[in-house]
Structure 1
Amino acid sequence: MTLAIIGGVLWVLGIIALLTGVFPADAALAVADRVWPILLFVVAVTIVAELASKAGLFDVVAARLATLARGRTALLWVLVVALATVATAFLSLDTTAVLLTPVVVSMAVARRLDPLPFAFVTVVLANTASLVLPVSNLTNLLASEALGGGHDPVAFLTLLGPSALIAIAVSVIVLTLVFLRRLPKTYPNAASPEISDRLLLRVAAVVTFALLPLLVVGLEPWMPATAAAVVLVAAFAWRAPRALGIRLVPWSLLVFAGGLFLAVGALEALGIGRITAVLAGSGDDLVSLWQLAGVGALAANGINNLPAYLALESAAGSPARLAALLIGVNAGPIVTPWASLATLLWHDRLVAAGIEVRWSRFVLLGAVIAPLILFLGVLPLVW
């Protein structure tokens, strides 16, 4: 609700800018033409992930991983890391935060393991692993569109793949050193999750796993995501119509994102680009890229990563600088709770599950991980 209220205020400010002529109508139409495919993808992939979760897909996958680990906590840890990374890379960081978090927590509780280490793995990797593909983060979709040539996953991986690998590795190493030694080396077996409709589970599994490669073959991401959403909605309308509802659509996020695009467009018309250019500097040398990544991370932790990216995008005039900005606004916002929407959603899910998390612990971990990623993750951009 808070997100929708903020978005509503931004819409009002943007409309005022339009009516007063501060923000020209043709510029507003250009913004709309740029963002509608991105927002459509967000809606479609959210529906796919929500319905797959309702079908029990994530519960079954987590239970299979626990069985595959054969009671060895270290192996289960590695498998959860892999699951969080893949979920983030293909289905976006919000999916990992919202849908994977309760699944991983319940899996740990059922096996008498402390759920907090696994919860921290999901939220940190939801942010830091969101550098992998264009579909991993809304900022990536904006950046890949700005790079030209469509949302090409190969070009994106070529540019940011090494940095993404560093971000994931740093996150996993720090989290492993902090948490794994506190967990028992083994855990007992637990009952398999109950599935009410196995046919629906199979349909959800086929659709979801078919969607993953389609998101990286060069199609506009909204196309396969929308097709997958339509198939799953049809399957649920047939088998479990009560699971369908207007709440499947992430309205708060849409209102917030739409208002934000409009407000930032108005600010750019007022000349905010001149201010961000001074803060972000220029040049593709290592120090300049560190500066841009650092400013992006500071702005993201100060306000939020999406407005931070939008405000600084015009200051990133080359592929290397755009990549440095993404490192800052994707992997950097893990210090303050509000820096990433995924972090706030993650906390809401933990509260709903009855898990208490001290924000001080989150801040301390982020204050260690984020600077390391910023320092090391920018290095491949100049190699």
Structure 2
Amino acid sequence: MSTAVAEAVSVVLLLGVLAFAVVRPRRLPEAVAAVPAAALVVGLGAVSPAEAWRQTHSLLPVVGFLAAVLVLAQLCDEDGLFTAAGDLVARACGGRPRRLLGGVFAVAAVITAVLSLDATVVLLTPVVFATAARVGARPRPHVYATTHLANSASLLLPVSNLTNLLAFTASGLSFTRFAALMALPWVAAIAVEYAVFRRWFAADLAAGAHVPGTDERRPMPVFTVVVLGLTLAGFVVTSFAGVEPLWAALGGAAVLAVRALFRRRTTVGGLVRAASPLFCLFVLALGVVVKAVVDNGLGAGIGSLLPDGSSLPALLAVAVVAAVLANLINNLPAILALLPVVAPAGPGPVLAALIGVNLGPNLTYVGSLATLLWRRILHEHDTEPGLGHFTRLGLLTVPATLVASTVALWGTLRLIGG
């Protein structure tokens, strides 16, 4: 098979897999399309079996970590952590929607950073709906904040997003170094989002609310919070020890899982479902398909677009190309395609690409799977997120957050180095 034909076939298969993941006919898992597509690119010679295995092998620790964090997030939810956080925000807002928005921003930013964007979208969004109803506030600003913060607030830690885990592996940085370099871009993105939200949703925030009653207070699950804090500390320790952070995540999940099993709050089957094995299989298969696309032409095309070095214009160019690519083919394939091109240039371009693929999806529904999940949750609450409204808000936030976070990254690189 010629390179041109291999590239065409690989692109068609990639777009088919992504379309299937967006539509999910009959709610079939994404792996139903991704696994046969991966087998086809190998069988047709678009990627060799050896290259396919190397790609899969390199993704296994990342996917294992993802499964552990998904279990950890589910167990935290079952222990009432998200409900207690929503109750705390409801009481702290004092019947003021603007303060409620600030509280939702703070909780969503922390949950996204520590437990990943999927926890914010899938577990926090329903809590935000309930919290807004409890105080009589209009829900739209607050539930829109969960999807925007799921993307924008996922810049901070390697554990915050699957794209981060991939970039973290390629960057060669330690856990703490990654966090130090991304702290200022993370703050910049959240600050810009908050400023835009205050103005864009001014009418909703001015509608008023009331102070919640004190008879339904949800206690904070102290044991769960302590385990979560120790797990986060474990990420730092394993980073210094040169050990995969997977083991810290497994440790935290194991402690909560044993406790939940002992109390009969969950089952072994429930834990397996929480790990989303079919979604993990989808990620592995998608990596093989993207490998075929990159090796047969996309990698060279991206390389011709991107400048060399870590100057501010170069970092901005990488971030913009990454954001555009994320909105064209979804952010997970985008980072898989970008990393082989930008990784040789050092951690600066890798992190700039990460900024692009994490912030860019706030522009369209298809930019990230998390946004698609958020849309489904809104439908379950009989709320229709208007496409025009979502896009116009994205046009205000995405360019501004891209520039602010990339400038912050450039400044941090100059200050403390890569």
User: Counterpart in 2 of 1:269?
Assistant: 295
The letter of the residue matching 2:235 is L
Which of 163, 180, 183 is matched with 1:139 structurally?
163
User: Counterpart in 2 of 1:173?
Assistant: 195
Task: Tell me, yes or no, if structure 1 residue 60 matches structure 2 residue 89.
Answer: no
Which of 247, 261, 273 is matched with 1:223 structurally?
247
User: Counterpart in 1 of 2:11?
Assistant: none
User: Counterpart in 2 of 1:208?
Assistant: 228
User: Counterpart in 2 of 1:368?
Assistant: 396
User: Counterpart in 1 of 2:355?
Assistant: 327
Kept in 1, the 8 Å contact 2:126–2:377? The answer is yes
Kept in 1, the 8 Å contact 2:363–2:391? The answer is yes
User: Counterpart in 2 of 1:122?
Assistant: 146
The letter of the residue matching 2:183 is G
- In structure 2, distance between residues paired with 1:13 and 1:187: 53
Report the TM-score when normalising by structure 2: 0.83
- In structure 1, distance between residues paired with 2:113 and 2:142: 18
User: Counterpart in 1 of 2:62?
Assistant: 38
Write out aligned runs for 1:186-201 (5 A): 186-190=209-213, 201=221
The letter of the residue matching 1:77 is L
Kept in 1, the 8 Å contact 2:172–2:347? The answer is no
1:63–1:380: structure 2 CA closer, same or farther, 3 Å change rule? closer
User: Counterpart in 1 of 2:4?
Assistant: none
- Give the superposition deviation at 1:239: 1.8
Task: Tell me, yes or no, if structure 1 residue 162 matches structure 2 residue 188.
Answer: no
1:272–1:303: structure 2 CA closer, same or farther, 3 Å change rule? closer
Which of 270, 274, 282 is matched with 1:256 structurally?
282
- In structure 1, distance between residues paired with 2:222 and 2:404: 42
- In structure 2, distance between residues paired with 1:99 and 1:334: 19
- In structure 1, distance between residues paired with 2:383 and 2:217: 23
- In structure 2, distance between residues paired with 1:381 and 1:44: 29
Which of 153, 178, 184 is matched with 2:175 structurally?
153
- In structure 1, distance between residues paired with 2:347 and 2:99: 38
SS at the partner of 1:272? Answer: helix
Task: Tell me, yes or no, if structure 1 residue 351 matches structure 2 residue 379.
Answer: yes
Which of 307, 313, 326 is matched with 1:300 structurally?
326
Kept in 1, the 8 Å contact 2:87–2:217? The answer is no
Kept in 2, the 8 Å contact 1:90–1:136? The answer is yes
SS at the partner of 2:362? Answer: coil
- In structure 2, distance between residues paired with 1:280 and 1:347: 33
Q: What is the RMSD computed on CA atoms of the aligned residues?
A: 2.4
Unpaired runs of 5+ in structure 1?
none
1:206–1:289: structure 2 CA closer, same or farther, 3 Å change rule? closer
Between the two proteins, the alignment pairs up a number of residues equal to 378
The letter of the residue matching 1:373 is T
1:268–1:182: structure 2 CA closer, same or farther, 3 Å change rule? closer
- In structure 1, distance between residues paired with 2:388 and 2:278: 27
1:85–1:237: structure 2 CA closer, same or farther, 3 Å change rule? same
Kept in 2, the 8 Å contact 1:290–1:375? The answer is yes
- Give the superposition deviation at 1:324: 1.4
The letter of the residue matching 1:238 is F
- Give the superposition deviation at 1:20: 4.6
Aligned identity (percent) is 34
- Give the superposition deviation at 1:343: 0.8
- Give the superposition deviation at 1:4: 5.8
1:70–1:95: structure 2 CA closer, same or farther, 3 Å change rule? same
Kept in 2, the 8 Å contact 1:88–1:96? The answer is yes
The letter of the residue matching 2:210 is Y
- Give the superposition deviation at 1:54: 2.0
The letter of the residue matching 2:187 is L
- Give the superposition deviation at 1:371: 0.7
Kept in 2, the 8 Å contact 1:4–1:256? The answer is no
- In structure 2, distance between residues paired with 1:114 and 1:72: 11
- In structure 2, distance between residues paired with 1:192 and 1:221: 41
Task: Tell me, yes or no, if structure 1 residue 92 matches structure 2 residue 128.
Answer: no
SS at the partner of 2:302? Answer: helix
User: Counterpart in 2 of 1:309?
Assistant: 335
The letter of the residue matching 1:305 is N
Report the TM-score when normalising by structure 1: 0.90
- Give the superposition deviation at 1:100: 0.6
1:381–1:54: structure 2 CA closer, same or farther, 3 Å change rule? closer
